[in-house]
Structure 1
Amino acid sequence: MIERANAIAAELVRLRRDIHQHPELGFQEFRTAALVADTLQEIGGLTIQTGVGRTGVVAEIGPGNGPTIAIRADMDALPIIEKTGQPYGSTNDGVMHACGHDAHTAILLGVAHLLKQSLAEDNWHGKVRLLFQPSEEAFDANGVSGATAMIEDGALAGVDAVIALHVASTVPAGELHFYDGYSMAAVDAFEAWIRGKGGHGAYPHEGSDPIFMLAPILNALYAIPSRHVNPLRPCVVSLGHVQGGFTTNVIPSEVYLEGTIRSMDETTRQKLWHEVERALSLSQAFGGSYEF
């Protein structure tokens, strides 16, 4: 198997750099999906479905007569400006493969190559379903991610188990790390509005300043993992965007914030949601309100 993998390594590097050079955001992976489908067609021996979960691709190989194992890779990029200086750097301004999904996609295409060879030479049973997932990083306006969209389109129907991986800069090249139990966190995004009563900066007593309300709310949000969740349950609360006001001398009527919570189990996940809302409710103690 190692010899087979080494034989296609150069081609996988080429594919990964091609994908890296043409990054696409969630549910916009049209070129990437076409490249995946064309490459799978060239490999041969697979049934291929496109447009699964909007821009996802599903391929299947194997004779049946056994379990169906799915292997998943995500395809979308991030809204980040690339400044690496690499010759294969992003040609899509403001979009970059900064989370390794270009590598994941190339790896799964390599798996397709190896499975095709293995099926011909090793005579195994069952099926392997390859899932090229869109929009892992983002949700649409209705809160639907690429995983949900693919599941709704039947991508996991009849699947007995799913395998996935993620590259990590902390792991030396050529090594695979396996974990007992969970290995990566589930992530949920949230957005909220803290509302008060705006006014002139010279007369703060005549309004309810949502920026002032934000200060204790931020402390409460960042205290959730250390003060409200069992320390044996890993979790993270992070804010990535806070916006309030547009000029120096006007108190705004609202502050907008959005962030993420990450958890390793459903109980902790629900606890985090509850505590985030409880932190936001501090706005009421200062004459404000919140929407979450």
Structure 2
Amino acid sequence: GVAYASTKTVTNKQGTEIPVMHACGHDFHMTTWLAVAGFMNAYRKHWQGTLVFIAQPAEEKAAGAKAMLADGLYTRFPKPDYALALHVNSKLPAGTVGYCAGSALAKIDLLDITVKGKGGHGGMPNFSKDPIVLSAQLIMALQTIVSREVNPAEPAVLTIGSIHGGSNSNTIPSEVSLGLTIRSLNDSVQAAMIKSIQRMANGIAHAAGLEEKDFPVIQLRNESSPLVYNDPVLSRRIGAVFQEKLGKERVQELQPEMYGEDFGMYRQTEPPLPTLIYSVGTVGTGPFVSTHSPLYLPTLDPALETGIKSLTWALLDLLKPAKK
């Protein structure tokens, strides 16, 4: 690995020590943030207005923006006219930027499902209700929500990211835990998907002969993120700045993606605050590696310079002195 590869470990909620890293580029983001803040402070005479830099934690758990807004971000400090952010993009070449006007990033909900059963001996499954088998049936059934229940014209994703159950190969456990995420660009689609998950889970339990008290327990985590909507007028304005400074060939208009960001919470004012989160390319010459992979490594040269300059150009445009 690289010299600055993370060696940090933490203990997760299950009590297991696990390695951690900035697999979504947040060290890149904050390095850019610090450099731009330093430049804007040093060259204060070249712009006018009030500039607020938000050092927000806990984006990955969708907790940071919510906590800062609840703590009075827009009342204890000047309420902005615009909000800008950038994020690394593991599909764009280093030295480029991209943006998506309108609906840009998905609304996200995270759910935990506890599939109950009746534990027993692996050699006598007829005396048990096997939650591993029920979980397998549920996992396959849930795949039909997007393919058979959601309008094909509506982007939607359902991903089961974890399954945990059992402790021994010859023992049928009493329960299995599933963790999943659902994502869409539409509140009604999101609500319908949650209802479908509940219906299918209950149906599989009923078909297995379980009593209602032993039907799966579905919990919606307090880690939801709203749709991220880039104001079209602001997007086109800043996109034009990027094209002027970088050249049109290094600025891409992107399609909506099913990643999530709690940056969307900053827009939830009345009237809605114009916001824009754009992408900074980080891909070099190696094979594709997605963010959230332990192998993700941004190509710092020229990606970091592009990130710093692009955000600085955007701020200088929005804060340029009025003509006398």
For the superposition of Structure 1 and Structure 2, which TM-score range results when normalised by the shorter chain? 0.5 to 0.7
Residue segments in structure 2 that go unaligned for 5+ positions in a row: 10-18, 219-324
Taking the aligned partners of 1:163 and 1:86, their CA distance within structure 2 comes to 30
The answer for the alignment partner of 1:166 in structure 2 is: 87
Larger RCO, structure (CA 8 Å, separation 6 or more): 2
Identity rate, percent: 38
Cα deviation, 1:41-94, whole Å, max 9, x if unaligned, reads xxxxxxxxxxxxxxxxxxxxxxxxxxxxxxxxxxxxxxxxxxxx1011113131
Report the AA paired with residue 147 of structure 1: A
Question: Given the superposition, is the C-alpha separation of residues 265 and 133 from structure 1 closer, same or farther in structure 2, using an over 3 Å criterion?
Answer: farther
Taking the aligned partners of 2:124 and 2:130, their CA distance within structure 1 comes to 10
Residue 91 in 1 paired to residue 7 in 2? yes
Deviation at 1:109, TM superposition (A): 1.7
Question: Given the superposition, is the C-alpha separation of residues 86 and 162 from structure 1 closer, same or farther in structure 2, using an over 3 Å criterion?
Answer: same
The answer for the alignment partner of 1:135 in structure 2 is: 58
- Number of corresponding residues: 201
The answer for the alignment partner of 1:13 in structure 2 is: none
The answer for the alignment partner of 1:155 in structure 2 is: 73
Residue 291 in 1 paired to residue 217 in 2? yes
Question: Given the superposition, is the C-alpha separation of residues 180 and 89 from structure 1 closer, same or farther in structure 2, using an over 3 Å criterion?
Answer: same
Q: Is the 8 A contact 1:131 1:155 kept in 2?
A: no
Q: Is the 8 A contact 1:196 1:254 kept in 2?
A: yes
CA RMSD of aligned residues (A): 1.8
Residue segments in structure 1 that go unaligned for 5+ positions in a row: 1-84, 140-144
Question: Given the superposition, is the C-alpha separation of residues 159 and 276 from structure 1 closer, same or farther in structure 2, using an over 3 Å criterion?
Answer: farther
Taking the aligned partners of 2:119 and 2:45, their CA distance within structure 1 comes to 71
Candidates 179, 187, 206, aligned match of 2:100: 179
Taking the aligned partners of 2:157 and 2:70, their CA distance within structure 1 comes to 29
Task: Trace 1:1-292 onto structure 2 (pairs within 5 A).
Answer: 85-93=1-9, 94-122=19-47, 124-125=48-49, 127-138=50-61, 145-157=63-75, 158-281=79-202, 282-288=204-210, 289-292=215-218
Taking the aligned partners of 1:118 and 1:283, their CA distance within structure 2 comes to 65
Question: Given the superposition, is the C-alpha separation of residues 156 and 226 from structure 1 closer, same or farther in structure 2, using an over 3 Å criterion?
Answer: farther
Q: Is the 8 A contact 2:107 2:187 kept in 1?
A: no
Q: Kindly report structure 1 stretches of 4+ aligned residues shifted beyond 6 Å.
A: none
Structure 1 length-normalised TM: 0.64
